[in-house]
Amino acid sequence: MAAVLSCGNDAVLSHGSAAALWDLLPTAGSRIHVTAPSSARRTRSGANVHGGQLRPEERAVHEEIPVTSVARTLLDLAEVVRTDRLERALEQAERLEILDLNAIERVCEWSRGRHGLKALVALLSKLTPAPHTRSELERLFAVFCREHSLPPPSINVLAAGLEVDAMWPNRRLVIELDGFEFHRTHGAFERDRARDIELKLAGYDVLRVTARRLEREPAAIAGAIRRLLARTERR
């Protein structure tokens, strides 16, 4: 924190130091990396200071320390680390559920010409493998999440002792996928509602998504999931 403050009010932790703070990569070396509004790089108070103007979306505060956003941190890393370490950082961001593909896309759009851009885009294109699914609807939902730049959910996992179709554990958001063939009887309808009550009492948000809506209203479903993920993140 002292190194950031010594570089001015608009300075933020960046590059490898930001990656360590976000827990994307272990700390590499003893020197702190900071980005501050300046056209020149310089060294101050034991810090490597990178000149650059940051948009508000490229700034964040984590553990009370001003730091580059996860998306900007990944782009900065792409210029200074090997491809295997960048891939490791991306996978860790995905594992921690802090990988926002929309944010990365915007940062890349603003940063055309940076030499790390090509490596970052190439890794993003192959980052997320298809999760193991048991039904066509689950497979379609996994594809739907990738196409709409939603964080990849866990599929067929336990929540409050109940197996659920999809879930973002860190956000406590459960998605139940309702295919007509498994949910058309009165008994199934009642069991579904009883499950929803148990999950809600355990602190989970539950969103039921039908195959029909997933096919006909994908933008509305994606928007609802995105808002629920944002709401649970603020809790």
CATH classification (class only), 136-233: alpha beta
Tens-place pLDDT, residues 122-137: 887 766 555 666 778 8
Q: What was the pLDDT predicted at 129? A: 52
Q: What was the pLDDT predicted at 21? A: 93
Whether the model pTM is above 0.85: no
Q: What is the DSSP string of 136-191?
A: HHHHHHHHHHHHTTPPPPEEEEEETTEEEEEEEGGGTEEEEEE-HHHH-SHHHHHH
Between CA 209 and CA 132 the distance in angstroms is 19
The mean pLDDT of 190-200, rounded to a whole number, is: 90
Among 2-6, 61-65, 210-214, the minimum mean pLDDT is found in 2-6
Between CA 71 and CA 88 the distance in angstroms is 14
Tens-place pLDDT, residues 61-116: 999 889 999 999 999 999 999 998 998 899 888 888 898 887 888 888 888 788 88
What is the rounded radius of gyration, in angstroms, for the C-alpha atoms of the chain? Answer: 21
- Does the pLDDT at position 182 exceed 50? no
DSSP secondary-structure letter at 132? P
Domain boundaries, the chain: 2-125, 136-233
* Residue pair 201/159 in contact by the 8 Å Cβ criterion: no
> Phi/psi at 34 (nearest 5 deg)?
-135, 145
Tens-place pLDDT, residues 161-179: 999 999 998 899 999 998 6
Q: What was the pLDDT predicted at 215? A: 87
Q: What was the pLDDT predicted at 1? A: 57
Q: What was the pLDDT predicted at 47? A: 73
Go through 181-198 and write b for each residue having 16 or more CB atoms within 10 A of its CB, e for each that does not. Answer: eebeeeeeeeeeeebbee
Among candidate residues 231, 186, 189, 233, the one with its CA nearest the CA of residue 210 = 189
With 0-12 / 13-18 / 19 or more C-beta atoms within 10 angstroms meaning exposed / middle / buried, residue 157 is middle
DSSP secondary-structure letter at 35? E
Residue 161 Cα to chain centre, angstroms: 26
Q: What was the pLDDT predicted at 41? A: 47
